[in-house]
A and B are shown apart, each in its own frame.
Chain A
Amino acid sequence: MGYIVPIKELGESPLVDPKITMHEVTDLVSKVSENRAPRGWWFAFLFAASFTGILGIAVGILFWFGVGVWGNNSPTYWAWDITNFVWWIGIGHAGTLISAVLFLFRQKWRTAINRFAEAMTIFAVMCAGMYPGLHVGRAWYAYYMFPIPNQMSLWPNFKSPLMWDIFAVSTYFTVSLLFWYVGLIPDFATLRDRAKTAIRRKVYAFFALGWLGSNRHWQNYERAYLILAAFSTPLVLSVHSVVSFDFATSVIPGWHTTIFPPYFVAGAVFSGFAMVMTLMLITRAVYGVKSVVTMKHLELMNKIMLTTGSLVGYAYGMEFFIAWYSGNDYEMFTFTNRATGPYWWAYWTMISCNVITPQIFWFKKMRTSIPVMFVASILINIGMWFERFVIIVTSLHRDFIPSSWGYFRPTIIDVFTYMGTLGFFFTAFLLFIRWIPMIAIAEVKATLPSADPHFGHAHAGDGEHHHEDKPSEAAPDAALVPGE
């Protein structure tokens, strides 16, 4: 028995354009950083960088005057700051899911988008990580949150979910960065080998850590990658669960809910995929990598969005049910107030973007339409921002004692800070696209027909193994079977 078709998962169509060769893949991806940046890149970069500048201004004003330049008040002590924090962290999750969980589940279609998604994770976590530092009243003492031995007898309170957050997010960032970097090593080596200038060669050589593509290198690499994937996988579940503890362990109705951990994880994956989709569709159009990132990938991502969107919708419904079923007046009031109170518009924005929008992906036509999925992904991004806003602001603004009820309005500095982190994110992302292989060259090659150990033998029908066609820098199939 032999292989009849080149590598392809059971019953599925090829993951990349079957006509593309290994060299073309290398060329396609490497050229992005080797050629001059297109004019569009510069426009986008300057635009994004100017928003990063706005972030600097907003943070300057924030640090100079205090948190009062935001709209936060009593009782809404947290508002856009933590909304943005959770939103960014959530976005990061798709990256980890794609790279680690799908890797372990041998979902090879991930190879086209994993680099991209991981980069998104890194930058999103950076944006998220800014907020805990920015939102505290005395940012210059933010280091009190770290367990640093000191002469002041200060030690963090490990009972505090914010403390857990610090560890969850910093662990997440460290592991994600390592995972991303380890995956990049063979590709850095490819860029190094193709480099035409000395500086380019030196810089890429530095980051390639002396990668030679030897069998031993590949073996170590695959093991490291697998271990890191195993590290990252629980993080997909744990980080957003821990973030949800910030709310779930509190006493505030609307926060004090056991459904939060799975609900937050589903929401995180949902929003993360939407963000990957948004970025991917733009990049795909701009850089013409359609042969690598095919409609197949996009459709699969849409299916995930449909699933997670429906999960989130279930959570929304379950919250209402439990509020009613518990017989707790405060709980019931909070949820009624979400839908009909002063912030009804935020709630219904959330419902329409997060629950109704992904339902269009039941239809194949919609799943495969680029404009539809682009608009849907943007709407989901908006909806998921509103989900966090609804959870944080509408729960806080009317809690137990009616005399303390209030209404939150953002200020222009709130808007600047948020737009600023978006600017920072896109700036970092554009720099990534410009200088780092945005598609995992080595991993994509492993999914090419020619990467199949039996490539070329199907027609011969003798079942013998010939490896002469295999390019030296391509990942062997060992990527899938590490022990081999």
Chain B
Amino acid sequence: MSKRDAYEFAKPREAAPQFWKSLEEKAEPEAAKKRAEAEFPFNLTKDEEPGLGRRGFMMFAGITAAIAGLEGCARRPVEKIVPYTRMPEYSLPGISYHYATVRHERGEAIGLLVETHEGRPTKIEGNPDHPASLGATDVRTQASIFDLYDPDRSTSVKHKSGGALEAAKLAEFDAWLAGKIKAYEADQGAKLRFLSPPTNSPTYLRLREAIRAKLPHARFHTFTPVSETNAREGARIAFGQAVSTINDYQHAKVILALDSDFLQTEPGMIRATRQFARGRRLNTPNEPISRLYVVEPSYTTTGANADHRLRLPARDVERYLAALATELSTKHGLSLGAVATPLAGIKVEGVPEKWIKVVAAELAGAKNRSVIAVGSRQPARVHALAHALNAALGNAGQTVQHFPVADPEETEQIADLKALLSDLDAKRVETLIVLGGNPVYDVPADLKFGDRLATSGATLVQLSSHEDETTAKAAWHVPLAHEYETWGDQRGLDGTYSVQQPLIAPLHGGLSPIEILGRIAGEAPGGYALVQGTLRASYPQPLTLDREWKKALQRGVVTGAVTRPFPAMAVREADVAAAAAQIKPGKALGTDNLEINFAPDPKIFDGRHANNAWLMELPDPMTKIVWDNAAYFSPTTAAALGIVSGDVVEIAREGNKIEIAAWILPGHADNSVTLHLGWGRTHAGRFGGNEAERDWGKGIDTYPITQKLPENGKMRGFNVGPLRTSDTLGYGEGAKVTKTGKTYQLTQTQEHHSMEGRPVAIDATLAEYKQTPSFPQYRTPDPKVLPLWTPVDYTKGHRWGMSIDLNACTGCNACVIACQSENNIPVVGKDQVQRGREMHWIRIDRYYRNGYATTKDGNLDEKDPLVAVQPVACVQCEEAPCENVCPVNATEHSPEGLNDMAYNRCIGTRYCANNCPYKVRRFNYLEFQGEPMYGDLPEVTKMANNPNVTVRMRGVMEKCTYCVQRIQEGKIASKRDSRPMKDGDVVTACQQACPAEAIVFGDLNDPTARVTRAQKRDRGYRLLSELGTHPRTTHLAKIRNPNTEMV
């Protein structure tokens, strides 16, 4: 501490009057002063007293206090704010714009309209002009906005010069690549290989040709873990060329899905769902609807929508089809030609006779109007046989249409991959460029991609969105730009050509695959020029190109480039017969010979979305498990093996083995185990896991302070990859299951699976419906009571309402993620979900119920139950029980009948949620959107937030608002344009996303509105109406269409 200088008073003037205190002082001033000093020693603190004296203490204390005070009034750093006075054109603060673009999903190009706010994409919507979207989206498309803002995306080019990967500049990579390509020109690229997932980009194909012209010996290989390669090979057998098959589920009368989850994980799910729902639409009891037969091992979304479902191990599906074909040709005179011969006599055990007899009769009776759909994982011969049957039934060209594929050169992937690997082993590869995908994680285990790559010594160049399992082996890692960040173009399954328009500059400076190819081909490096270069081939005139380009960007579809389906194609019967001859009975399945079947995960697919927290927390459509996968067993098999849900089992097959938690799935085929791909990632990120360590979670931690954060980076789920070999990409047999004695905490959002006989998700058969059209209303009658207070008159102005058609809803979950994205709903983590605190505003309830044969509810037939799904969000009761009980008026009714939440008024008594009979209210038990328990969210994640919706803090109740922000937007627009609002002006996020058109929203005071008409349907009912809540949302009961001969 520095000594403070005392303030120097001006010295008294010499002439100033002198004073004295006493005569002694006057007489002897010096002596008096000494005496006084002896009595009042002023300088005690300085010398005489050791340490800190009273004055010193006071001084210190005073200074400390002063400094402490100063701390509070320290100058804040200067942070100048700049008004938005020079706005970029077409960007008004607060006004959102929609841009058309396209997204690739399993060979399908999904046309989108992306909502952006001030240049920041926030919400994905379907493009109604695009045939693969029709205005709707699927669950992964909805969640893709989170992928864009994934906080763990790779942020820079990395280069491994010595031991470890180090950040490098893109220019360095460009220089290295240019040098390499220059060097490769000498041997025409003989040592250059490319590995990429299948592409549907015409520009990619054009650049591939350009590279081939430049480096003719360079090879392009294709691999993706969940592919259509079997379907393509099947078409090659049947027709001699690969085709992409699109089934018309709308006009088909009878649909037979063989191990095909066409309503969830198969390509073209959005269009399929839309058409399927339309084919089942019932306005009156006398309309015809389609009938769906499903044969599958696991219980899938498609199985849940089946009228009749046969649980059958995946390997027996082909023999079932063979037996069906024989029945069709022998009993129904279907001409199969040479194909029939090898099929004769093929038997399939475990299939009731009626499943062959009745289904064959149904198919034969619906000529030109049936569909046999085969799942991608079934071998090529099953696809070929199905093509032959569809052709013989007259479906081909009618309800089953074949289109040219985007990349006709793509060959059987395993053979292709093996060719690459043998080149690697023979050290014929110097540089391997991986354009997307994660081969070290997802190449079949027996091919040992990682090891063979390492021993080959080839330089791996990886283009990838994350630093994943493959990155560790790479010499160069280049961040892959998201589809919403770069230019591109894509062809849909039906050949529709769309331009992929970027919505934001690459956040982390990544590149797209075509930009890398463009560099190698020696074209301009920008994606814009590359894509225009492709379009120029169709429109050589600059003016036409410019016009078409603008149209393409506006509409999202290039109208002039429509591809037509092939006319009915001739089936090569001999080839199909040769393939069908391979259908042979295997060893009987049993606990010593179990089947394992691999399915893409309905949420994270093959693991590419593993770090998407929205998808991680999305309940699995059937098991309702979040944040994990599990091995699914049938109740019978589980009992035979002595396992219960949550047991950790070891599954071994041919020397490979994995440990995985078991789950008993009612309705699963016996002696088969379903394994979902994409889990157990070690380099996915904070949400998907970036450690090899797993959290075994034995029940809930009762010490809440140590609650697991949602992004603690622990491994999520179980990697089933080590069991998946190149000959069991779809399924395989010979697996053994043993209990390990360990248990694992699997977390569900729904723990009770019976409706307990209550009128919740009401359904009936078509016959019952015809007999009693308004059957649901008998189960949920309005109470005959007098109102407690004068009822509000809602007949003036708007009266918002919703209708949810359970007959259309497939339970695909797209609405759940759409709602999460639209309404800034937080992710809470597995531990919080286990505590029952998930935040989804709309949930899909899934109930098991007894099959048709057993009529009484009660003891559930676990082996083969039916499934009912029901989306439930706030039903906006007119007499809302939640409103009366809120002590602070935080939830109130709007004049339009919305049950509004005033977040800043809510103090969090939670009484409203207790009193809500539908339990649709969600409480922020902790600060789920950031501090203090969860740490602040990364800034980039916050970019996904919708600026029109409040981000709720902890201690606040929230719930579905019917997307009140969209209602307001619609009202403002109508006021601005001086016109009355019309039906369809307001579309809620769930309605917008729904591929099945199950959700309809609108003004109930408008007699012509779709919602008004939907609510008046006879099978409409109001959930728990007997409580007198007068819900604004009406559910329309599900109608099943069973064949009486099957029951």
Contacts and interface: CB of A to CB of B under 8 A. Distances in A.
Interface of A: 61, 64-78, 132, 135-139, 141-142, 144-145, 154-157, 159-163, 166, 246, 249-252, 329-330, 333, 396, 398-407, 409-413
A136 B1027 contact: no
Contact of A333 (B756, B919, B954): B756
A333 B954 CA distance: 34
Given A66-B926, A412-B703, A401 B887 contact: no
Contacts of A252: 914-915, 917
18 contacts: A61-B705, A66-B954, A66-B955, A68-B925, A69-B926, A70-B704, A73-B836, A137-B908, A138-B906, A154-B888, A157-B888, A162-B887, A162-B911, A402-B755, A407-B751, A411-B704, A412-B703, A413-B704
Contacts of A396: 914
B26 to A, nearest CB: 50
Given A138-B907, A145-B888, A69 B758 contact: no
A156 B872 contact: no
A409 B754 CA distance: 23
Main secondary structure of the interface of A (DSSP, over half): loop
A219 to B, nearest CB: 43
Interface stretch (B179-187, B486-494, B878-886): B878-886
Given A69-B704, A145-B907, A402-B752, A157 B954 contact: no
B856 interface: no
B887 A157 contact: yes
B914 A402 contact: no
Contacts of A61: 705
B835 A73 contact: yes
A65 B751 CA distance: 27
Given A66-B927, A403-B845, 15 more contacts: A66-B925, A66-B933, A67-B954, A73-B837, A74-B913, A137-B923, A137-B956, A157-B886, A159-B885, A250-B915, A251-B881, A251-B1027, A399-B919, A401-B1024, A407-B836
Contacts of B887: 144-145, 156-157, 160, 162-163, 166
Interface residues of B, number: 65
Given A71-B835, A413-B704, A329 B758 contact: yes
B837 A400 contact: no
B756 A402 contact: yes
9 shortest interchain CB distances as A-B pairs: A137-B908, A137-B955, A68-B925, A73-B836, A403-B845, A68-B926, A404-B919, A77-B910, A138-B955
A76 B1027 CA distance: 20
Contact of B918 (A76, A398, A401, A412): A401
A84 to B, nearest CB: 15
B925 A72 contact: yes
Main secondary structure of the interface of B (DSSP, over half): loop
B731 interface: no
Nearest to B957: A137
A59 to B, nearest CB: 14
A401 B755 CA distance: 8
A136 B909 CA distance: 5
Contact of A65 (B838, B881, B905, B932): B932
Nearest to B837: A73
A392 to B, nearest CB: 9
Contacts of B932: 64-65
A406 B923 contact: no
Contacts of B885: 159-162, 249-250
Contact of B700 (A69, A72, A155, A409): A409
B750 A403 contact: yes
Nearest to A132: B909
B400 interface: no
Contacts of A156: 887-889
Contact of A401 (B832, B872, B886, B911): B872
Task: Pick the most buried of B751, B846, B885, B1029: most chain A CB atoms within 10 A of its CB.
Answer: B885
A399 B756 CA distance: 11
Contacts of A404: 750, 918-919
Contacts of A166: 887
Interface in B904-960: 905-911, 913-915, 917-919, 921-927, 932-933, 953-957
Nearest to B624: A403
Given A137-B907, A144-B888, A250-B915, A74 B836 contact: yes
A412 B845 contact: no
Interface string B780-817: 00000000000000000000000000000000000000
A162 B909 contact: yes
Contacts of A250: 881, 885, 914-915
B959 to A, nearest CB: 11
Contacts of A141: 907
A73 B337 CA distance: 64
A424 B252 CA distance: 73
A409 B699 CA distance: 11
A144 B905 contact: yes
Contacts of A246: 911
A77 B923 contact: yes
B847 interface: yes
A246 B889 CA distance: 16
B925 A67 contact: yes
Interface string B752-781: 111111101000000000000000000000
B757 A138 contact: no
A136 B917 contact: no
B847 A402 contact: yes
Nearest to A157: B889
A142 B954 contact: no
Nearest to B845: A403
A174 to B, nearest CB: 19
Contacts of B921: 74
B702 interface: yes
B843 interface: yes
Contacts of A144: 887-888, 905, 907
Contacts of A73: 835-837, 925
Interface string B116-145: 000000000000000000000000000000
